[in-house]
A = this chain, B = another copy of it.
């Protein structure tokens, strides 16, 4: 039974939050005259000592005391006697655990937001370093149109920007102190919830004591935000795996991020991106886990809620590590421009440009498509690309075609012609890059 119900083997991770919360609580109790200043001093000194012991690794957590809260309280009473017993006045494990988890998640939200920022910066560095370089843009994993490598990388910067927004919203929403909800109904003692909240850096206090101890939607929101981040990472990882294959050959990962084969020194397995992609499973699974656990629970606290912590810890760890290592990986990744350039000059990727060119000359869109289709079919027969046709040959498909057509038939011509806001044209990308750089520089980490 003890082994089944104890949680200290995982919730010991909350010790810092637990002690910070207790310190603030004790100070408030003293200010409100509920305990004496001497008692408060004994408590905070005791807590300081316990925290130091835990950090030094000399504190002995005991499973028979069930959880981190009881372990610390018991150690306090052992250390300072009766005053220690007064610490739990006007609070309950129910609001204490809700407090600790909120404090913990707030810290992890900040950490993950920081990792997101680091990763965005790494992407921007690569985008800057490769500015002007062109690669195939894909739909359906088929080569579709030439794009700037920088543009491709900036697509991910946008995804992680929204991720940062979600984590920030989550942090804002959870940053309300539940302490003072007590077991479920509040307390009759003259506590000052606002003071505790302020000391702990909360934006305010929760408005309803039953909600405070019953709900974990803040943890669900955190887990959902993590799941979306890891899915974004899984897409980047998939691309890295593809690009590192012999068939694509677009990038070379640094040795440190691969396992090699002792007998095939040229072979580099992209283990890190594979693991990151694979770990999307656990982060989604963690979300499902807590959603399912909370489903159908009556108010207020039910022991089922003890299951809230492990998925939260695991998703936070996984996402933080995956973000950090992806940023590192990107900084040590080399684009193989020779292979990329070869890829971008084959495959009629400028066909849409020819169609757009015709539209610009007044041909209706759907008709322009027909013209280009016939020209491409002709090239396929001849074994050449569109840019290899002469003006005269091109004009056989449409008389409106003029000398200026060649400006859009090369990969660079094609890509750079896409000057619409957010498009892949060099000017558009340069602007986007500058704006992004500025935006990220404004963020402090």
Contact = CB atoms under 8 A, between A and B. Distances in A.
Contact of A188 (B77, B293, B300, B425): B425
Nearest to A86: B364
A408 interface: yes
Contact of A263 (B86, B147, B369, B423): B369
A397 to B, nearest CB: 12
A186 B275 contact: no
A21 B428 CA distance: 24
Contact of A302 (B141, B205, B348, B421): B141
A114 interface: no
Contact of A241 (B141, B220, B257, B277): B141
A284 interface: yes
A26 interface: no
Interface string A179-194: 0111111111101011
A228 interface: yes
Contacts of A130: none
A232 to B, nearest CB: 7
Nearest to A435: B207
Contacts of A289: 281-282, 284-286
Given A139-B301, A238-B298, A275 B306 contact: yes
Interface in A298-346: 298-307, 310-311, 321, 325, 343, 346
A270 interface: yes
A425 to B, nearest CB: 7
A78 interface: no
Contacts of A296: 234-235, 237-238, 277, 280, 295-296
Contacts of A418: 182, 185-188, 209
Interface string A37-57: 000000000000000000000
Contacts of A101: none
A367 B142 CA distance: 43
B281 A140 contact: no
A262 B139 contact: no
Interface stretch (A11-19, A104-112, A351-359, A388-396): A351-359
A278 B304 contact: yes
Interface residues of A, number: 174
A22 interface: no
A138 interface: yes
Interface string A113-153: 00000000000000000000000011111111111000110
Nearest to A374: B265
B144 A184 contact: yes
Contacts of A183: 139, 144-145, 352
A291 B281 contact: yes
A173 B159 CA distance: 11
A8 interface: no
Contacts of A443: none
A169 B289 CA distance: 24
A274 B305 CA distance: 9
A219 B143 CA distance: 26
A217 interface: yes
8 contacts: A151-B185, A151-B208, A155-B208, A169-B169, A221-B224, A263-B372, A285-B287, A285-B289
Given A187-B420, A188-B425, A285-B287, 6 more contacts: A144-B267, A188-B356, A217-B231, A284-B288, A285-B290, A288-B288
